[in-house]
């Protein structure tokens, strides 16, 4: 199973700075124990045994500040769905992985173990969705069978339509004891509140 996990890419969606966050760039939020949010998520992904990539808008190239390979989504300005479509299209051509994981870049409490738990059951035919107290979260693992549909997303659609079109027996919903899978931050105030919960072990 470890070999399978090592082959799985994790795409961290960081192509937008979020207008609601004001002049600050939440991707580079300073964490209380040192480092910046996006690079902390990169480290957690690697600790989980994943092959981490960060998805960026080529018009906002901050790759020099990111400790991971970056994938540029030409249509990122259209919305998150377009970013996913561009990035997955690239991996469909370049990667032989059976599945990939997708998550946003604003989950400061996400645990390494949660990333592992989502990756472990991932196969080419399955979608794996983590939940906390029945609320869906991230990352979501999409088997290679669903990559063509993901590569056709547009606007701000996200992957919900792909999940909805999948046969239920191929969608695994796993309950995790990690509220960090669904606690994101749209404003500086929300981010500050979440960071109060951050523990050194998450680094």
- Total domain count, the chain: 1
User: Any bridge partners for residue 140, and if so which?
Assistant: 102
Name the strand (E) or helix (H) holding 92.
helix 80-94
Written as six digits, the tokens of 111 are: 């645990």
Predicted TM-score (pTM) of this structure: 0.92
In SS3 terms, 9-33 reads as: EEEEECCCCCHHHCCCCHHHCECCC
Provide the CA 158 distance to its chain's centre, in angstroms. Answer: 12
Q: Give the Å distances, CA to CA, from 88 to 25, 69, 101, 192.
A: 25, 15, 10, 32
User: Any bridge partners for residue 10, and if so which?
Assistant: 52, 101
Alpha-carbon distance of 170 to 126, in angstroms, equals 5
Crossing angle of helices 112-119 and 37-47, rounded to 10°: 50
Written as six digits, the tokens of 129 are: 């969705």
CATH number for 36: 3.90.550.10
Q: How many residues does the chain have?
A: 203
Written as six digits, the tokens of 104 are: 């946003």
Q: What is the pLDDT along the chain (203 residues), one digit of tens a residue?
A: 333 444 699 999 999 766 667 678 999 999 988 899 999 999 999 999 999 999 999 999 999 999 999 999 999 999 999 999 999 999 999 899 999 999 999 999 999 999 999 999 999 999 999 999 999 999 999 999 999 999 999 988 889 999 999 999 999 999 999 999 999 988 888 999 999 887 655 54
Structural domain boundaries, residue 40: 2-202
Give 48's DSSP letter: T
Residue 154 phi, psi (nearest 5): -145, 170
In 3-state terms, what secondary structure has residue 177? coil
């Amino acid at each position: 199973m470890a070999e399978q996990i090592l082959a799985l890419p994790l795409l961290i969606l960081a192509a937008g700075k979020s207008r609601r966050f004001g002049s600050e760039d939440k991707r580079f939020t300073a964490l209380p124990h040192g480092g910046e949010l996006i690079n902390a998520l990169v480290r957690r992904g690697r600790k989980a045994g994943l092959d981490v990539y960060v998805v960026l808008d080529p018009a906002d190239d901050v790759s020099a500040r990111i400790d991971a390979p970056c994938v540029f989504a030409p249509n990122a300005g259209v919305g998150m769905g377009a970013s996913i479509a561009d990035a997955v299209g690239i991996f469909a051509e370049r990667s032989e992985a059976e599945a990939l994981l997708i998550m946003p870049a604003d989950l400061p409490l996400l645990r390494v173990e949660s990333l592992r738990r989502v990756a472990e059951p991932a196969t080419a035919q399955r979608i794996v969705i983590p939940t906390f107290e029945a609320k869906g979260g991230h990352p979501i693992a999409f088997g290679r069978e669903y990559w063509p549909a993901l590569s056709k997303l547009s606007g701000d659609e996200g992957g919900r339509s792909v999940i909805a079109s999948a046969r239920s027996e191929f969608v695994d919903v796993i309950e995790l004891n990690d509220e960090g899978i669904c606690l994101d931050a749209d404003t500086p105030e929300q981010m500050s509140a979440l960071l109060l919960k951050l523990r050194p072990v998450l680094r």
